[in-house]
């Protein structure tokens, strides 16, 4: 058994696609996308007699002001059968040996496995659970909805909640048309909708250059598709889906402030589901939902929307950390804490109104 660093696109993706847990965020193309934003990809595979047993696509980034120290992050990795503790142990021991070369103080992993599938393997191998801090439980969502694409299209419709079926048919009846073979030029239209959505709903979005990168590194290689919903020729909503092997993920969605009553988002999801099924996918991932969807949760509406398509709720194990340098990590945590406190103080003073000008005195 050996750990190989893989640099060839097709070889790496073949490894990932051999595993039922292969994920788009562990694909070669995703690493290339993140390389555009300051990360350095590192792809390691555990190979035994020519057979792939485990793999991890790492993203490395230098910590600002740390004299060259780095962190390693594996979104939705490692990819393996978590019952194969021998292969995973071999992988993590190899990473411990490589850490000084990369001046890494920490490895963060976030595999797409449930607690039942993980079976305590990560703790046994010396990793510790990281606390979730985002609305969805971490950097990547801990909780998602996935739709089994095994049934026929009619069967999928019948499994949906009545209101969801009604809204899909309403959109078609009112004349909403979904275009699923969009071109590069349509990306600007979609991004305009995304900006409109972000302003309306109060969240931050990435730059247009990032979405150009998604097109060039993923869509351009046949791993994604842009969908736009039109009403009387006007684009009123759009979505972006990614595909890797026999799996499909809904990644981004946006809608105009106009004609939202025509249910274009329902029409878009149905078209993406049909496309995923036509590509031979076994499931369709609606991605993030809140893990605690109580009625008062600000994202409870999102939960109900995705649940309405008949999807199943999944809760993954969440993030785990492998610490290489406890002292450096302590220093980094301390600096992060001070940074957060300073930002909080600045926000407080900003909330008190404009500061006096020099004419108004100190």
Q: Any residues with CB less than 8 A from the CB of 258 and at least 6 apart, and which? A: 234, 236
Q: Is 291 exposed, middle or buried (0-12, 13-18, 19+ CB in 10 A)?
A: buried
Give the model confidence (pLDDT) of 188-243 as tens digits: 999 999 999 999 988 889 999 999 999 999 999 999 999 999 999 999 999 999 99
- If you average pLDDT over residues 315-326, what whole number do you get? 92
Give the model confidence (pLDDT) of 170-194 as tens digits: 999 999 999 998 999 999 999 999 9
| DSSP code string of 32-92 | HHHHTTT-EEEEEEEEETTEEEEEEEEEEEEPTTSTT-EEEEEET--EE-TT-HHHHHHHH
Q: How far apart are CA 88 and CA 101, in angstroms?
A: 21
137 pLDDT more than 80: no
To the nearest whole number, what is the mean pLDDT of the chain? 89
Please, what are the domains in the chain?
A: 2-135+317-350 (3.40.630.30), 143-313 (3.40.630.30)
346 pLDDT more than 50: no
Please report, for residues 69, 125, 136, 202, 359, the alpha-carbon distance to residue 196 in angstroms, rounded to integers and kept in the order given.
39, 46, 22, 10, 40
SS3 state at 282:
coil
119 pLDDT more than 60: yes
Q: What are phi and psi of 12, to 5 degrees?
A: -65, -45
Helices (H), the chain: 9-18, 28-35, 85-102, 115-118, 121-124, 153-159, 162-173, 186-201, 208-217, 264-278, 300-307, 326-351
54 pLDDT more than 90: yes
43 pLDDT more than 50: yes
Read off the tokens for 110. 């976030």
338 pLDDT band, cuts 50/70/90, is low
Nearest to 79, CA basis, from 94, 64, 91, 65:
91
What pLDDT was estimated at residue 123?
A: 96
156 pLDDT more than 80: yes
Q: How far apart are CA 223 and CA 27, in angstroms?
A: 10
46 pLDDT band, cuts 50/70/90, is very high
SS3 state at 340:
helix
Q: What are phi and psi of 180, to 5 degrees?
A: -110, 5
């Amino acid at each position: 058994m050996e750990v190989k660093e893989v640099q060839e696109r097709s070889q790496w993706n073949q490894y990932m696609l051999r595993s039922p847990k292969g994920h788009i965020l562990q694909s070669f193309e995703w690493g290339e996308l993140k390389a555009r934003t300051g990360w350095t990809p590192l792809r390691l595979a555990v190979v035994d007699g020519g057979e792939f047993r485990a793999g991890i696509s790492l993203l490395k980034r230098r910590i600002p002001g740390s004299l060259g120290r780095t962190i390693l992050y594996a979104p939705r990795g490692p990819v393996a059968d978590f019952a194969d503790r021998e292969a995973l142990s071999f992988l993590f021991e190899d990473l411990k040996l490589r850490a000084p070369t990369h001046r890494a103080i920490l490895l963060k992993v976030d595999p797409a496995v449930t607690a039942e599938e993980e079976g305590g393997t990560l703790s046994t191998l010396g990793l510790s659970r990281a606390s979730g801090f985002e609305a969805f439980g971490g950097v990547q969502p801990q909780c998602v909805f996935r739709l089994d694409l095994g049934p026929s299209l009619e069967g999928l419709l019948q499994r949906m909640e009545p209101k969801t079926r009604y809204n899909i048919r309403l959109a078609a009846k009112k004349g909403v048309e979904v275009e699923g073979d969009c071109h590069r030029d349509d990306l600007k239209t979609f991004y305009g909708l995304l900006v409109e959505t972000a302003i309306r709903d109060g969240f931050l979005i990435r730059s247009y250059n990032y979405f150009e990168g998604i097109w060039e590194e993923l869509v351009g290689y046949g791993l994604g598709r842009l969908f736009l919903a039109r009403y009387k020729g006007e684009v009123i909503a759009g979505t972006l889906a990614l595909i890797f092997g026999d799996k499909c993920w809904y990644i981004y969605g946006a809608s105009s402030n106009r004609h939202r009553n025509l249910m274009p988002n329902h029409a878009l999801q149905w078209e993406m589901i049909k496309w995923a099924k036509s590509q031979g996918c076994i499931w369709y991932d609606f991605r993030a939902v809140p893990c605690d969807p109580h009625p008062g949760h600000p994202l409870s509406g999102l939960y109900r929307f995705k649940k309405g398509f008949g999807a199943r709720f999944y809760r993954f194990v969440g993030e785990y950390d492998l610490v290489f340098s406890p002292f450096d990590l302590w220093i980094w945590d301390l600096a992060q804490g001070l940074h957060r406190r300073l930002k909080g103080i600045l926000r407080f003073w900003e909330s008190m109104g404009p500061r006096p000008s020099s004419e108004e005195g100190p």
